Amino acid sequence: MSSIRNRLLFWQISALIVTGLLVSYLAYSLAWNGFNKLRDYTLEQVAYSILRHGVELDVEGISAKERRDKGQFLSQMWGKDGKLIYASRATPELPPQLPGNAVVSWEGVEWHTFTMRKGDLVIQVANTTENRAGMFGRIAPWLLLPLAVLVAFLGSLIWVAVGRALRPLEQVRREIGRRGSSSMEELATTGLPDEVQPLVTTLNELLARLQQSMSLQRRFTADATHELRTPLAAVRLQAQLALKANSSAEREEALQELIGGVDRAAHLVDQLLQMTRLEPDAMPVTFTAVSLGEIARHVVASFQNQARLKNIDLGLGHCDDIYIAGDRVSVQALLNNLVANALIHCPAGSHVDVELHRNGSMAELKVYDDGPGIPADERQRVFDRFYRLPGTDTIGSGLGLAIVRQVVNLHHGTVSLDDAIGGGLLVRVKLPTDKPD
């Protein structure tokens, strides 16, 4: 029974039926007890009537059999010698009981009796429980009929009320069902019950997040397509030049350019994959103990050849031995992008340094250079995907700092851009040393 409607109807109607049965039982018991008290009172009244008016012991012209009372009561009278002088029925003699009301079983039959003594006379009036039950059985259905009608009426009201109460949920379901995969408008919340409004509000928040995610994905796909088109076109051009080369020197130069274009395209694809892996809706990342000092030493060593080719002094300054709970691959990608950006944008003869400090409960990673830097009014925009500073002619995808920000957000840290001492750019990344939630 997975339907809320069916569950509500089942439990409410079941409760109504159980309550009706309980009330019926109580009503039946109270009515039966009241009926018995009324019949006992009737026995008493018949006994006093016999005492006041007496009985005709002999009526001329009427046989003894006809004189017997054919009614529902057994009336008996005993004289002073204890001899039965009158009985309204030709039944086995029912012995006299103690004065008052009593319930006795005589020869397999249960009797209700009222006995009184007046002088030498003993008067007893009785009737059977079976007789009482028969009479009560004829009137009991009329007592329970209003209750049955009430249960049926309340059951119908419950059926209608549950349907009306669940109608807003059905409306929400229909409204969601009519929407297509690209329809992310908010659901209307006016006129909804208090219990349904939080659900619809949460659904609207989910729709807003889905719309934002889909917008980001569409923009990412469009930007990636645009950015890949340039290196692929360059690769095609260099391949055509290599085919048309008239000398081995021209062919070798074209092939070198071709290899460079392939490397740039591969680097862009690698960064796109990193961006996809760091998306909030991607597969969850497992955090482990990560040594930032080890990563810093490894990254600086791996970029030494590239730095020498550009005549840039790349070095590792102060480096504390700090561990954080994080994802090693993404943290290394963060530092790779910071160092690569510095080497790309700094002219020959520049300096690029990496430092790692412990600052309270935070690990502070610094990468600074004496290159051209970034204007203050552009330092927020450079974290956007595929954004490049106006007027720059350096080769790059515009994804490096976007990846840095995603890794920092993943680890609940902060990243900021400042002016380095003596000119240039200082990138400061702070990551918590305790395990993030």
pLDDT tens digits for range 50-68: 888 776 654 444 344 444 4
- Cα(355)–Cα(423) distance, integer angstroms: 17
Is pLDDT larger for residue 48 or for residue 277? 48
- Cα(172)–Cα(192) distance, integer angstroms: 10
In tens, the pLDDT along 321-360 reads 899 998 888 888 889 889 988 888 888 888 999 999 998 8
Give the DSSP per-residue string, 58-109.
--TT--HHHHS--SS-EEEEE-TTS-EEEESS-SPPPPP--SEEEEEEETTE
Mean pLDDT, residues 371-377 taken together: 84
State the chain's mean pLDDT as an integer: 79
**CATH pick for 213-276 out of 1.10.287.130, 3.40.980.10, 3.40.50.300, 3.40.50.12780:** 1.10.287.130
Confidence grade of residue 392 (pLDDT, cut at 50, 70, 90):
low
CA proximity to 368, closest of 339, 408, 397 = 339
Q: What confidence score (pLDDT) does residue 9 get?
A: 79
Confidence grade of residue 83 (pLDDT, cut at 50, 70, 90):
confident
Identify the burial level of 134 via C-beta atoms within 10 angstroms of its C-beta, where 0-12 means exposed, 13-18 middle and 19 or more buried. exposed
Phi, psi (degrees; rounded to nearest 5) at 289: -70, 120
Q: What confidence score (pLDDT) does residue 280 get?
A: 60
Confidence grade of residue 251 (pLDDT, cut at 50, 70, 90):
confident
Alpha-helical (H) ranges within 278-327 are 292-302, 304-309
Among 39-43, 71-75, 178-182, 400-404, the range with the most confident prediction by mean pLDDT is 39-43
Mean pLDDT, residues 142-159 taken together: 81
Is pLDDT larger for residue 286 or for residue 343? 343
CATH 3.30.565.10 in the chain is located at 284-432
- Cα(212)–Cα(218) distance, integer angstroms: 10
Please report the sign of the dihedral spanned by the C-alpha atoms of residue 55, residue 57, residue 61, residue 63.
positive
The DSSP output letter for 371 is: S
Instruction: Say if residues 405 and 338 touch (Cβ distance below 8 Å).
Output: no
Q: What confidence score (pLDDT) does residue 268 get?
A: 65
CATH 1.10.287.130 in the chain is located at 213-276
- Does the pLDDT of residue 143 top 50, yes or no? yes
Identify the burial level of 389 via C-beta atoms within 10 angstroms of its C-beta, where 0-12 means exposed, 13-18 middle and 19 or more buried. middle
Domain covering 284-432 assigned CATH 3.30.565.10 in the classification: yes
* For helices 248-277 and 328-345, angle between their N-to-C axes, nearest 10 degrees: 140
